[in-house]
Chains A and B, each alone.
Chain A
């Protein structure tokens, strides 16, 4: 059973701070990793993906992958109240559907 684990939160950070969201996965053969953002009452939307070990930056977002530790994280710099949402980690291995974590709820306090 492939598993993706996330702390459910809520993770509370002050406006302007760095929010760090973490995800671990069980399948060592996992090849690609996705972060989705889901606002309350809305559908998940893709914000980043990463395939290789190391960091990948896109604006205020940085995804970090460590395959040896089976760990992927999302950093949000200069957090804004509009970043308050649930962040879902999803993992893909081989030709199978994505496996989603249950999500971490982020609250950015103004």
Chain B
């Protein structure tokens, strides 16, 4: 039982390049989330998917797109990377979105945009 997995672990991009961060969970969770974490800023929600087939914007969605490929997988795409997107990206999942549901996090992707 791997929990939440993310690929890649590290990535360096040049400004303007695109890339997709992959996330998968094997806990049969319904909801999945993408966060970014910057020093002093805490975790900020980019996008989330409450259930398969739905996606919603979070606090900082600009410059990102997401795809809920199936129940297991939720990808985050940067179409034209900018230095401001240098960050650590975490994927998380939970059984649901109600008050009883805690989130479980993947190991993170460290992205640097030069």
Contact = CB atoms under 8 A, between A and B. Distances in A.
Interface string B73-114: 000000000000000001000000111111111111000000
A94 B96 CA distance: 11
Contacts of B104: 46
B102 A43 contact: no
A97 B90 contact: no
Interface residues of B, number: 23
Listed residue (A45, A88, A97, A100) with the most chain B CB atoms within 10 angstroms of its CB: A97
A49 B42 contact: no
A102 B33 contact: no
Contacts of B60: none
A69 interface: no
Contacts of B100: 32, 51
B99 A93 contact: yes
A42 interface: yes
A92 B105 contact: no
Question: Chain B: interface secondary structure?
Answer: loop
Interface residues of A, number: 24
Given A43-B90, A44-B90, A46-B104, A31 B99 contact: yes
Contacts of A49: 102
A41 B105 CA distance: 13
B43 interface: yes
Contacts of B105: 43-45
A101 B42 CA distance: 7
Given A102-B42, A103-B42, A46 B102 contact: yes
B43 A96 contact: no
Contacts of A90: 103
Nearest to B41: A102
Interface of A: 8, 31-32, 34, 42-46, 49, 51, 88, 90, 92-98, 100-103
Given A42-B108, A44-B43, A97-B58, 13 more contacts: A43-B90, A43-B106, A44-B90, A88-B43, A92-B101, A93-B99, A95-B97, A97-B33, A97-B45, A100-B42, A101-B42, A102-B41, A102-B42
